[in-house]
Amino acid sequence: LPVILFGDGGLGKSLVALAAMTSHNTGTDVLPGLYPAGTHNGLYLDWESSPYENGERYKQLMKGRGLDPTDYKCHHIRCSGTFLEMASSIRQKISEYGITFLIIDILQLSFLLYLTGGIINPFSIFLIIPSVFASSSLNIKTNILLIILTIISITFLTFFHENLPSPLNNYVFNS
């Protein structure tokens, strides 16, 4: 699922987001604790920093991990309006790189839901969000693939999952 970081300026939100994207681009733990399963093209939407600033931060992150910044492309869109106003340029990038993100999002959320109660988890509704978003920006073949993957995930999570942890089972309440 898309992640939005909120907070006051100067806290490092942009750097954390860029480090997370760089981890996925390179398949290494650029962001400590984030160990991606492979490499994926990332798209960084930014309403604050310029492409130059973003590029310089990206180079520093890569050099800090001993990686060559020219080996991995950092896709960046400097957003100047609302998400809807930027939709055509975002859609263009998504059509080129989006399928990786959307499938990864569905699989990551499915795994998380597997560990936390499956389809009975109230957050399971989020499984349909990538398919809904894709319906407006990707071609029909990609949409069908995402819908099939979503249906398989939902069906699997209906029958196979770990139970939700229940901390209250460990306590006895006296009345």
pLDDT tens readout for residues 74-130: 777 777 777 667 777 777 777 776 646 555 556 777 888 888 888 988 888 888 877
CB 41 within 8 A of CB 73: yes
Name the nearest CA neighbour of 123 among 109, 138, 106: 109
| Model pTM score | 0.51
The single-letter code of the amino acid at 170 is N
pLDDT tens readout for residues 36-59: 777 777 777 777 778 888 888 889
Rg (CA), the chain: 19
